[in-house]
Amino acid sequence: MLSPREGRVEALSRGLTGKNENDQMVNYRDQLYAFGLYSKGERYDPVVNGWSTLDLPITRSTKVTAVRGEIYAIEVKTSTKSATIKKYDIERCSWQTVLSSHEGCREESCVVAAGNHLYVCGGRLEDDFVTKAERFDTVRNKWEEIANMQQARGCAFGVATGEMIFVAGGRENAESCLKTCEMFNISLNEWQ
C-alpha cells in the first residue's frame, strides 16, 4: 500500500482468508473491499491496518466495481439468461437489487466504471466469445446500447480514464490468449 503522507510503500496486514486469481478488489470510502469466490468478502481499514469479514458473498460470474462512490455488482445467471445489477448498502451491509434483465447477460465479460455508467464489454455466450458491448446507467437504472468492440474477447481487463475506456488481453477462444488492446471513445461511441 502506498502511504502518500509518508511517501513510502507499506505492506497491508494479512487478510483473513486465502486469495486466488478470481478475487476482485474495490476502493470505497478510503477502504479496500475484497470479494472472493470462496469467502463472504472482506474490508481493509487503513486506519487500524486490519481486515474484517463481511457477509457479502458473490458468485463466480459476478463482477464488482465502484461507480459514483458506490459499489455495484453485476451477477450473471446463465440458467435464467439474466443479469442482476446490485448496489452495496453500507447501512445494512448487504446487496440491494437495482434491476434484473436479459441485458448484460454474458459470462467472462469485462466490466469498467466510467462516469455514471457500468460498461459491459465482450464476454462469452454459451461457447462463443462476443464483441457485444453495452452500458448500464446507474442514475436512470437502465441499459443503453453502445458500439460493439472490434474483436470478440472474454476474460479481458479494462480501465477508464477521461473519455476513454481501454479493454485489453483476454481470450478470443478457449485455446488462445489475446495480446491486443481496444480503446472506446465514450463521446464518439466508437472503438479504435
**Grid-cell match 469498467, residue found:** 112
Residue 192 has pLDDT above 90, yes or no: yes
Average pLDDT for 87-94: 82
Residue 43 has pLDDT above 60, yes or no: yes
Q: Is residue 36 assigned to a domain?
A: yes
Q: Is residue 52 assigned to a domain?
A: yes
Q: Is residue 38 assigned to a domain?
A: yes
Q: Is residue 39 assigned to a domain?
A: yes
Query: Which residues pair with residue 43 across a beta bridge?
Result: 33, 52
pLDDT recorded at residue 46: 86
Residue 21 has pLDDT above 70, yes or no: no
CB atoms within 10 A of CB 26: 17
Between these two residues, 151 and 77, which has the higher pLDDT value?
Answer: 151
pLDDT recorded at residue 112: 94
Residue 56 has pLDDT above 90, yes or no: no
Q: Is residue 27 assigned to a domain?
A: yes
Cβ-in-10-Å burial (0-12, 13-18, 19+) of 164 comes to middle
Q: Is residue 26 assigned to a domain?
A: yes
Q: Please, how many CA atoms are within 13 Å of residue 183, restricted to the half-sphere of its CB?
A: 8
Q: Is residue 77 assigned to a domain?
A: no
CA 87 vs CA 74, 125, 165: distances in Å: 9, 25, 22
pLDDT recorded at residue 5: 56
Domain count for the chain = 1
Rounded to 5°, angle at Cα 184 from 179 and 188: 155
Rounded CA-CA distance 144/184 in Å is 15
Query: Do residues 189 and 144 make contact, with C-beta atoms less than 8 angstroms apart?
Result: no
Rounded CA-CA distance 64/25 in Å is 8
How confident is the model over 98-154, as pLDDT tens digits? Answer: 999 988 888 899 999 999 999 999 999 888 999 999 999 999 999 999 999 999 999
Among residues 172, 168, 164, 170, the alpha carbon closest in space to that of 182 is found at 168
Q: Is residue 33 assigned to a domain?
A: yes
- The length of the chain is 192
Which residues constitute the domain of residue 26? 20-58
Between these two residues, 143 and 34, which has the higher pLDDT value?
Answer: 143
